[in-house]
Amino acid sequence: MNLTRKILSAHLAKPSAMKPGEEIYLKVDHTLTHDINAVMTYLAFEAIGLERTQVDTSVSYLDHNLLYLDNKTPDDHIYLQSAARRFGVWVSRPGNGICHSVHLGRFGKPALLSMGGDSHTPTGGALGMLCIGVGGMDVATAMTGVPMRLKMPEVVRVTLTGRLRPGCNAKDVILEMLRRVSIKGGLGKVYEYVGPGAASLEVPERATIANMGAEMGATSSIFPADEQVRKFLRAQGREKDYTELLPDEVCSYDGEMEIDLSSLEPLCACPHQPDNVKPFKQVEKRKVQQVFIGSCTNASYADIARAALVFKGRKVADDVSCTCAVGSKSIYTQLMRDGYIEMMLDAGVRFIELACGPCCAIGQSPASDGVAVRTTNRNFRGRSGNPTAEVYLTGPESAAATAILGTFATAEDILGSDIVKLAEIREPDAYPINDVQLIPPLPPEEAKKVEIVRGPNIAYLPVPEPPEQTLSAPVSLKAGDNVSTDDITPASAEFSSMRSNIPLMSQYCFHRYDPTFAARAKELGKSIIVGGENYGQGSSREHAAINPMFLGVKCVIARGIARIHKGNLINHGVVPMLFEDPADYDRIEQGDTLEIENYRDQIPTRRVRIRDTTKGFDFTVKLDLSDTEIEVALDGGQLRHLKKQLNIIQ
């Protein structure tokens, strides 16, 4: 078997032939959450009524919104810490680092299965884990011990040969993948990276590639657990957690690709999609106002150290604001000891919180019509906090060179023949370990005594009603292709601090995409959204499903719906539908009234007949749902369904 099938077969809760597209049920080893999505997760877990998480390791990370603009975010963090202590969950406190960097270093183990409430959870695939990003309700479900449903993915082997040249970064590998596959080409797939090129990559380099597999729409990405993984775990003081996990010498895959690492050159994703990839040397030489180095994608020791060598003895251009956020406290400490932080400070780089921050518009928004170069994973319009900005994605070496020259440049433009020195930078043999900011779970008897603290910003979790037998509702929004969860529920420190308060947050639903939507949907009472291709791409934030549901949206009819968002819609009582004939999308206009007779009876057939009563025509939609998902839809969402399941189990 290949790596993916080995891990899935070891975690099956029910026997399965594991045919691609078939629904399988899995036991989960780890769950993780982060602060701007997690309140809904723990509110749901509270509502379920269990005393304690039922998985081996659950971790609550406070790492996204560390800008306390008012009471909302500190209220959230206090609630999350108290809920974690109550339910047997680890807490990684603010300042400890970005969830994926910390989880990789302190908790990850080969051959385990993890589900996290963040789309970049597959970062852990660098260790030979199978890690899947899901919505918060799915994390709450996993914490109950109920087997998690997953559509069996196709497994694609990506054979890596050669070695990265100095000045190239693992970021260039995944940008090349995006160039070939596109932002939706990975839907329903796991990418398994093997070969001598994969063996040459250190774990943090592999993490960069696995992290951005999410931008292809992939279910996950994974590397073998080999000597590189053993070395990394030894450096973390956890060699005992190492288990070799390799694909069998003779095993089958559902698809194959090959990349020669030595043939790659520095690449750049141009606005406004991660797959709009060009060689850096072909990008128009524009004046750059802002550079950001960091995020869960590129904030490892070697990433920052190589950027520092580019900066050494030079300075940030006068017209450029350059900031850096390191992945974890451990990495920051080692960089400081080795002098790399000082190199960057001397060059004029500003160090900010060890947090996600600018990646999701929590601070450091670009200027009006600004050009920003970032080492993050997404560049959707408005993702940075400013819809007029143009964001380019690249690796730390090229980002540093760009900050120095004030326009697009690579490390070779700065270092010339000295670029070979970048190849000497490797991850440390030992990281400084200080887990003082990791709070372990309380023993069960002590945990029962903990009072969960709810500030005034912690609102209730809305629970939808089951579908009615006849649905008649207007189209409240007709959206185009590639609408992201950022479009539906905007990022930024201000908006992120509202996410524990759905009545407040829902007022800003589609705020940047269509500022009139929330008021219109609320006035209509109930409505339907029509979308184009790849609706709901990007972040796992389930608020992009909860907020429309709270405003009365009953179903989404689209040409295509992204995997995690589709799951979030089902979980929160919004039925996801696909046009049987994509041309019907063009016939419907915003404001049309759509009517579905015998709605509940039609849902189990997976084909629903709808009438546009405004235009006077009928059309058919498909429901790409499993038997269990049909049950969830008919029950009115996962919380009602889960309570019914647990009552049966008990």
Residue 539: pLDDT band (50, 70, 90) is confident
Beta strands in 226-317 (DSSP E): 255-260, 267-269, 277-279, 290-294
Contacts of 571 (CB under 8 A, 6+ apart): 135, 137, 138, 542, 545, 632, 637, 638, 639
pLDDT at 2 over 50: yes
pLDDT band at 558 (very low <50, low <70, confident <90, very high): very high
Looking at residue 645, its pLDDT comes to 76
Percent of the chain with pLDDT over 90: 87
Query: Distance between CA atoms of 526 and 595, rounded to whole angstroms?
Result: 12
DSSP reduced 3-state for 303: helix
User: What pLDDT does residue 148 have?
Assistant: 92
Q: The tokens of 523 are what? A: 């006035």
Q: Which helix (H) or strand (E) holds 503?
A: helix 502-505
How does residue 650 score in pLDDT terms, banded at 50, 70 and 90?
very low
Peptide bond preceding 641 in cis form (omega within 30 of 0): no
For 225-249, write each residue's pLDDT tens digit: 999 999 999 999 999 999 999 999 9
Angle at 400 between CA 398 and CA 402, to 5 degrees: 70
Round to whole Å and give the CA distance between 499 and 42: 13
Cα–Cα distance, 517 to 453 (Å, whole number): 34
- The SS3 of residue 293 is strand
Range(s) within the chain of domains with CATH label 3.20.19.10:
471-491+498-649
- Report whether pLDDT(619) > 80: yes
Distances in Å between the Cα of 12 and the Cα atoms of 25, 32, 127, 152 are 6, 20, 21, 11
- Summarised one tens digit per residue, pLDDT across range 427-455 is 999 999 999 999 999 999 999 999 999 99
Q: Would you give the end-to-end CA distance of the chain in angstroms?
A: 36
> pLDDT tier at 385 (50, 70, 90 boundaries)?
confident
What number does CATH give the domain 471-491+498-649? 3.20.19.10
Class of domain 3-263: alpha beta
Give the DSSP letter string of 390-413.
EEEE--HHHHHHHHHHSBS--HHH
Containing 177, the helix (H) or strand (E) segment is helix 170-181
Residue 131's H or E segment, with its range, is: strand 130-133
pLDDT of residue 386: 85
Q: Of 3.40.50.300, 3.20.20.70, 3.40.50.1820, 3.30.499.10, which CATH number belongs to 267-422? A: 3.30.499.10
- Average pLDDT value over all residues in the chain: 94
The ranges of the chain annotated as CATH 3.30.499.10 are 3-263, 267-422
Cβ atoms of residues 225 and 110 within 8 Å: yes
CB 497 within 8 A of CB 73: yes
List pLDDT tens digits, range 572-616: 999 999 999 999 999 999 999 999 999 999 999 999 999 999 999
Distance of CA 317 to the CA centre of its chain: 32
User: Per-residue confidence at 648, pLDDT binned at 50, 70, 90?
Assistant: very low
Residue carrying the six token digits 């799915």: 138
Torsions phi, psi for 182 (to 5 deg): 85, 170
Q: In angstroms, what CA-CA distances link 447 with 218, 440, 444, 624?
A: 37, 11, 5, 41
Q: What are phi and psi of 484, to 5 degrees?
A: -100, 165
Q: How far is CA 226 from CA 330, 405, 641, in A?
A: 23, 40, 41
**Res 78 pLDDT > 60:** yes
Asked if residues 447 and 72 have their Cβ atoms less than 8 Å apart, the reply is no
